[in-house]
Amino acid sequence: MAKINVLDKAISVYTVNEDDYICITDIAKYKDTDRTDYIIQNWLRNRNTIEFLGIWEQLNNPKFKPIEFDGFKQQAGLNSFSLTAKQWIEKTGAIGLVSKSGRYGGTYAHKDIAFEFASWISVEFKLYLIKEFQRLKDEERKQLGWDIRRNLTKLNYRIHTDAIKENLIPPELSKSQINVIYATEADLLNMALFGTTAAGWRENNSDKKGNIRDYADVSQLLCLANLENLNAHFINEGMPQKSRLERLNQIAIQQMRILADASSVRVLEKNDE
């Protein structure tokens, strides 16, 4: 559970299944510290809110119940209509809102929804919230990058010394794959390591959230860090894209075989769970 400070209000943030959820109970305190539940219920009564939540769920939640959603949408806006976050979650099977109890209790919302709620509270608050949230994610990425570089340093000596003993492995990529002109260096690296582009992975994994690198294991991330450095070196040397892809693919195969056998990688993966 992380916290960010937005206009002197502490806002809790937590991650579940790689999705970030922000405490809208904390956000509501910006408007009225003592009536946060009332503020959230008032927001949920709004027809635009119900339509927004329903569309978000339909895009992100295959288990969402559309019939129950239609019932709420028809009632939304009426003077007699009232709705709590718990009722919305229980009746529709929603995942965009989460009601938590205990020390960090309150109503949490997926960041997409939390930003929408913040806009309803205050446009100024929303802009500061986005800024502080982005700062938090930047810090997390820096920390992740540092951990990867630290672990890579420990393993690189083994990679470099064992690579001398390894026989060159023929490229697994076909000539037609190598001859394709890739629009970005990221896709070039994806092809070298994963054998597919980001778009190709998404097409074959439409049921998964995130991107191809989100599902990489520790050894793949370590190899990818090496490939990025080598690719930059090859670019500075003026090596053509086709030659770089073929070379990087060879290196990826060599290093992945070595890393897969490294007991230190297995320890890292176990500690990462």
Amino acid at 205: N
Q: How wide is the angle at C-alpha 190 spanned by C-alphas 185 and 192, nearest 5°? A: 95
Tell me the C-alpha distance between 64 and 93, whole Å: 5
| Maximum separation of any 2 CA atoms in the chain, in Å | 77
- Collect contacts of 98-106 with beta carbons under 8 A, ≥24 apart: 98/16, 98/21, 104/1, 104/12, 104/14, 104/23, 105/25, 106/12, 106/23, 106/24, 106/25, 106/26, 106/36
Looking at the whole model, is its pTM more than 0.75? no
Kindly report, residue by residue over 117-153, the tens digit of the pLDDT.
Answer: 999 999 999 999 999 999 888 887 666 555 555 555 5
User: Which one, of 265, 258, 262, 261, lies nearest residue 163 by Cα?
Assistant: 258
pLDDT of amino acid 234: 87
pLDDT above 60: residue 69: yes
SS3 of 87, please?
helix
Mention every residue, 6+ apart, whose C-beta is less than 8 A from residue 163: 254, 255, 258
DSSP bridge pairs for 14: 21
In angstroms, the CA 67 to CA 56 distance is 15
Tokens of 113: 């929804």
| pLDDT greater at residue 165 or residue 107 | 107
In this prediction, residue 167 carries a pLDDT of: 38
pLDDT at 168 over 70: no
At residue 262, the pLDDT reads 53
The total number of residues written for the chain in this structure: 273
Sheet (strand 97-100) strand order: 2-6, 9-16, 19-23, 106-110, 97-100
Q: Say whether pLDDT at 185 is over 50.
A: yes
Q: Which residues does 14 contact at the CB level (< 8 Å), separation at least 6?
A: 1, 2, 20, 21, 104, 108
